[in-house]
Amino acid sequence: MKAKRRTGLVFFPAFDWAISETHPEREERLLYTQDQVFEEGILDIEGLVEFNPVVATVKDVERVHFCVPEVEAVLTESHYIAAGGCKAIADAVLGGTTECGFALVRPPGHHAMRVVHGSRGFCNINIEAVMLEYMRWTYGVDRVAIVDTDCHHGDGTQDIYWHDPDTLVISLHQDGRTLYPGSGFPTEMGGPNALGTTVNIPLPPGTSEQGFLYVLNRVVLPILEEFEPELIINSAGQDNHYSDPITNMNFSAQGYAKLTEQLRPHIAVLEGGYSIEGALPYVNVGIILALAGVDYSWVREPDYDPEQIRQDSQVDSLISGTCGKVLELRQECALRREKYLGGSEFVQRNKSVFYDTDGFLEDQREVVRVCRECAGLMRIDSRAETGYRILGIRVPRKGCPTCQRLGRQWFESGSVKAFDKVYLQDCVTDEYQVKSA
């Protein structure tokens, strides 16, 4: 058996790590997936190469997050390794060893936002973002698309790339009115300097293969074509599966494989998916085979019955309406951008973030500079119920001299009396500083 595309695989089930013994994010999560992957002999397929994860560094994390009070305090070894698994795949793909790759790692990351006070939606750090910024610094990658096909809105990824016009973030997910985290509506399209590079396509409960592939072809692929990314990353959550215990969708292993085949991501990263016996073994095998270009037509769940999970016509029309709206809203981006440029220099957004795993709230005031030259300087004033208040300042990767100069000034004048910590991410120079009293 031979792969049509050389495919890298990091398979790291972290059999010795759990949030708690009975938590969905526990040792057993990838046990049956490992059984299926081993029994199928996937690692014997010629052109499929397995890598061990590397361990991500503190700097890899600092490039992306403001961790409170510091990186070491909010991460366990498992998080460094999950992000490191993504890095190992990035090295394989960008180093030319393989054409594409799949980081089958846990715990997931797409709910982790720029500021990290703790764990949200089982995520502490955003492993895709840590990988992407590593790739930008190590391999000079610029324009990248992240397509999030987890059932939950990838709100962390959206938050991190909200102001970045070089990162297209497309999320397909179950309608936020019916599922955690409750966000991801079509009107959420990015900040003033990056309008249109955030795309949200909420789907009604009961969406099946038909609906997902429809959205892919009507909205996702055309937008990708227009954006022309150098790389496509797929946040390949598997909780859209009809057997998933915490969601309400009707997707299948065949559907996931077809979606992967049509999307052709360079790098796929496992996100959620908690039907550990009935879905994950089959979905993961389907995704791996589809990535590698190996026949996946025999991959199906033992209880798969396409008639049982067919979506009804009401779902059809809801999805088609949403797609129409998404495309329509995109037309308005240019005009809105003009308005911002004619308006005030700084734009503020206020946010409340709930950390469901640890059970506390965070309040944020985020200010971004509307800039013609770059993605715009940004500052976040964040206060959490844990008692911490921090100020984070970020000069974007291709920041202009004005934004960079101003960012340094903000950092210097940031008061260590008012804030427990003041952070500076200068992504122009790849320097990360923190000060405190």
Contact at 8 Å (CB) between 83 and 125?
Answer: yes
- The question of whether 173 is a catalytic residue gets the answer no
Residues in the site for another protein, rule: CB under 8 A? 1, 11-17, 21-22, 26-28, 31-32, 34-36, 38-42, 44, 50-53, 55, 77-78, 81, 277, 281-282, 285, 289, 294-295, 297-302, 304
Task: Pick the closer one to another protein by CB: 131 or 232.
Answer: 131
Answer for which of 239, 301, 362, 366 binds Zn ion (CB under 5 A) is 239
In the complex, minimum distance from the CB of residue 405 to Zn ion, in angstroms, rounded to a whole number: 10
In the complex, minimum distance from the CB of residue 134 to another protein, in angstroms, rounded to a whole number: 18
Nearest to 186 by CA among 329, 27, 313, 384: 329
Set 79, 111, 152, 266: catalytic member: 111
Under rule CB under 5 A, residue 266 binds Zn ion:
no
Query: How distant, in Å, are the alpha carbons of 135, 166, 234 from that of 142?
Result: 9, 7, 17
Task: Pick the closer one to another protein by CB: 88 or 377.
Answer: 88
Nearest to 270 by CA among 285, 255, 254, 292: 285
Answer for which of 99, 150, 301, 426 binds Zn ion (CB under 5 A) is 150
248 φ, ψ (degrees, to nearest 5)? -130, 35
Query: How distant, in Å, are the alpha carbons of 207, 218, 323, 361, 394 from that of 317?
Result: 11, 14, 10, 37, 42
Task: Pick the closer one to another protein by CB: 297 or 352.
Answer: 297
The binder of 272, among another protein, Zn ion, none, by C-beta within 5 to 8 A per type, is: Zn ion
Nearest to 164 by CA among 368, 6, 312, 311: 368
**Alpha-carbon dihedral 223, 227, 232, 234, rounded to 10 degrees:** -40
Under rule CB under 5 A, residue 237 binds Zn ion:
yes
CA 213, 155, 335: angle at the middle one, nearest 5?
80
Answer for which of 169, 400, 424, 427 binds Zn ion (CB under 5 A) is 400
Rg (CA), the chain: 21
Task: Pick the closer one to another protein by CB: 90 or 371.
Answer: 90
In the complex, minimum distance from the CB of residue 35 to another protein, in angstroms, rounded to a whole number: 4
In the complex, minimum distance from the CB of residue 241 to another protein, in angstroms, rounded to a whole number: 14
The binder of 150, among another protein, Zn ion, none, by C-beta within 5 to 8 A per type, is: Zn ion
Contact at 8 Å (CB) between 174 and 239?
Answer: no
- Listing DSSP states for 371-391 in one string gives -SSSS--EEEEEEETTS-EEE
How many other C-beta atoms are found inside a 10 Å radius of the C-beta of residue 397? 20
Buried b (16+ CB within 10 A) or exposed e, 318-349: bbeebbeebeebbeeeeeebeeeeeeeeebee
CA 369, 347, 376: angle at the middle one, nearest 5?
20
The binder of 437, among Zn ion, another protein, none, by C-beta within 5 to 8 A per type, is: none
Under rule CB under 5 A, residue 272 binds Zn ion:
yes
Query: How distant, in Å, are the alpha carbons of 63, 64, 78, 194, 366 from that of 115?
Result: 12, 9, 19, 20, 11
> Minimal CB distance to Zn ion: which residue?
272
Under rule CB under 5 A, residue 371 binds Zn ion:
yes
The binder of 237, among another protein, Zn ion, none, by C-beta within 5 to 8 A per type, is: Zn ion
In the complex, minimum distance from the CB of residue 33 to another protein, in angstroms, rounded to a whole number: 9
The binder of 31, among Zn ion, another protein, none, by C-beta within 5 to 8 A per type, is: another protein
Task: Pick the closer one to Zn ion by CB: 389 or 408.
Answer: 408
Residues designated as active site: 111
The binding site for Zn ion (CB under 5 A) comprises 150-152, 237, 239, 272, 371, 373-374, 400, 403
